[in-house]
């Protein structure tokens, strides 16, 4: 019995040491600028680097702070007819959190396929009741990279993406988290966002983030 306990204790210590001693892999590659932004070759090079080629027919609108970002995003969610793909780092309970939960749930009940990916750490201030209501409405909700005993060394491996794609045609990205703290002008610095719409929405449909398969 004592031997079994000793073996178990040694195994636990070994696993913990491996978790904390193994560093994250880093890929560092310095890219030298070869073209100016105005050069047509710049767009071709960026398309090759990022994956999808850069195409015309897109419209971009800047959004500043939560007072502009949240109404635009919520309006797009409420207009969804087929699909909603949503990923965010911070999702906190509050007035804004409930507004997003209600809008996403309403669309899910209407038959829209809604996929939500929340960071496990960033959504720590989200009430369980709100999360359960969203799942009960038919929303596919996943928590990215929850803490496990075997991944303690990768606790800081988070998804900081803030993305929304509606019907494969309208997309949003920016710096605002889903929380009342981003309403108005933040105390520290302003937060920006962009709305991108395209008549060639097939490119947006390919933008399901890799976090969906690596969480």
pLDDT tens digits, 95-134: 999 999 999 999 999 999 999 999 989 899 999 999 999 9
For residues 24 and 154, give the distance between their C-alpha atoms in angstroms, rounded to a whole number.
8
Ranked by mean pLDDT, which of 73-87, 172-186, 192-206 comes out on top? 73-87
d(CA 68, CA 75): 11
SS3 sequence of 167-201: CCCEEEEECCCECHHHCCCCCCCCCEEEEEEECCH
Judged by DSSP in three states, 130 sits in: helix
Please write the tens of the pLDDT for every residue from 176-188. 999 998 887 655 5
pTM over 0.85: no
């Amino acid at each position: 019995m004592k031997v079994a306990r000793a073996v178990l204790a040694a195994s636990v210590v070994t696993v913990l040491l491996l978790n904390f001693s193994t560093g994250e892999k880093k890929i560092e590659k310095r890219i030298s600028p070869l073209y100016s932004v105005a050069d047509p070759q710049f767009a071709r090079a960026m398309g090759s680097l990022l994956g999808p080629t850069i195409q015309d027919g897109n419209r971009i609108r800047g959004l500043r702070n939560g007072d502009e970002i949240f109404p635009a995003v919520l309006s797009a969610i409420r207009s969804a007819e087929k699909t909603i793909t949503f990923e965010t780092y911070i999702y906190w309970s509050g007035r804004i959190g409930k507004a997003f939960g209600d809008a996403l749930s309403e669309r899910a009940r209407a038959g829209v396929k809604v996929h939500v990916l929340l960071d496990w750490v960033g959504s720590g201030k989200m009430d369980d009741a709100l999360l359960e209501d969203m799942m009960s409405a038919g929303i596919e909700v996943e928590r990215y990279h929850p803490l496990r005993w075997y991944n303690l060394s990768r606790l800081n491996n988070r998804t900081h993406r803030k993305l929304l794609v509606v019907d494969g045609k309208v997309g949003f990205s920016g710096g605002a988290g889903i929380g009342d703290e981003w309403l108005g002008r933040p105390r520290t610095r302003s937060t920006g966002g962009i709305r991108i719409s395209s008549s060639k929405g097939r490119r947006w449909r390919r933008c399901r983030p890799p976090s969906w398969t690596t969480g």
